[in-house]
Structure 1
Amino acid sequence: MNDFYKDILTGIVFVIGLIGFISGEFIISSALFASAAIASNVNLNRKRGKAGQLSWD
């Protein structure tokens, strides 16, 4: 799965979380928001690592 599809999947999870929040499903929407945030940060860190912007020293 390339980065574009990961970004699309993260966006879909976020939108589903937003719809769940509006409909009153607060626990499910909180879990979806958290998973979207974690996935977004993981993807961003991987992209930065490939570009050589992170240093682990």
Structure 2
Amino acid sequence: MNDFYKDALTAIVFFVGLFGFVSGEFIISSALFATAAIASNVNMNSKRSKTGKIA
């Protein structure tokens, strides 16, 4: 999967979580925020291990 697609998918999950939070779906939005945070950290650590620095 391309880095752009990973970043786009993380952003989509974040915004869906934000929309869920505004709509009052707090449990679902919390799960989506957690998913976005974990995916973001995994992507950052993957980039760091490949290049030796943060891209």
TM-score (norm 1): 0.90
Aligned length: 53
Question: What are the ranges of 5 or more consecutive residues in structure 2 without an aligned counterpart?
Answer: none
Deviations 1:4-48 (A, max 9, x none): 000000000000000000000000000000000000000000000
Task: Give the root-mean-square deviation of aligned CA atoms.
Answer: 0.6
The percentage of aligned residue pairs carrying the same residue is 77
Consecutive unaligned residues of structure 1, counting only runs of 5 or more, are none
Q: Offset of 1:52 from its aligned partner?
A: 2.0
Structure with bigger gyration radius = 1
